[in-house]
């Protein structure tokens, strides 16, 4: 998830998330792992990124979301956090099969976030002059 934090709230936001998010990571009832938390330094400013891995795919994600809806501590956290945010968004990401899975690392570290737009394979060949036969 990506959260755009009010600049004056960034330190309080970081402290709050450091108290609450690791508890979810350590709780065996939640099929998720907190792979990383960080703030951006370049590009969007005052932004926090949280990278979660859900063990078990979409069913695990839905299980976790349903449990969080009934978790009073998490709901109080969300309410307090909402006063610190300008906006938030979530993305479901799939890893490339040729790269290793991300694993939690002790920090501080610097990461580069990239987005790739992939095009699916097509069964029809393109009609460029290089592969067109003349009769």
pLDDT digits (tens, 9 = 90+) for 82-133: 999 999 999 888 777 777 777 777 878 787 777 777 777 644 443 334 333 3
Residue 115 lies in a domain: no
* 34-62: average pLDDT: 90
Q: Is 25 exposed, middle or buried (0-12, 13-18, 19+ CB in 10 A)?
A: middle
Six token digits for residue 12: 């309080």
Residue 76 lies in a domain: yes
Q: Provide, rounded to the nearest whole percent, the portion of the chain with pLDDT above 90.
A: 50
Residue 111 lies in a domain: no
Phi and psi at 44, nearest 5°, equal: -60, 130
Domain of residue 51, CATH code: 3.30.70.100
Whether 18 shows a pLDDT value over 90: the answer reads yes
- The pTM is what? 0.77
* Cα 83 to Cα 34: distance, rounded to the nearest angstrom: 23
* Cα 40 to Cα 96: distance, rounded to the nearest angstrom: 23
Q: How many distinct structural domains can be found in the chain?
A: 1
Residue 123 lies in a domain: no
Average per-residue pLDDT for the chain: 84
């Amino acid at each position: 998830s990506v959260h755009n934090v009010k600049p004056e709230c960034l330190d309080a936001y970081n402290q709050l998330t450091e108290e609450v998010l690791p508890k979810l990571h350590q709780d065996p009832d939640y099929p998720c792992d907190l792979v990383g938390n960080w703030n951006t330094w370049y590009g969007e400013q005052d932004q926090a990124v949280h990278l979660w891995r859900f063990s078990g795919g979409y069913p695990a994600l839905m299980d976790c979301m349903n449990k969080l809806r009934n978790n009073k501590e998490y709901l109080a956290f969300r309410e307090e956090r909402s006063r610190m945010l300008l906006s938030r968004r979530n993305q479901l990401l799939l890893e490339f099969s040729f790269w290793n899975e991300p694993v939690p690392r002790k920090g501080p570290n610097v990461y580069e976030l990239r987005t790739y737009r992939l095009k699916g394979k097509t069964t029809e060949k393109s009609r460029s002059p290089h592969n067109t036969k003349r009769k």
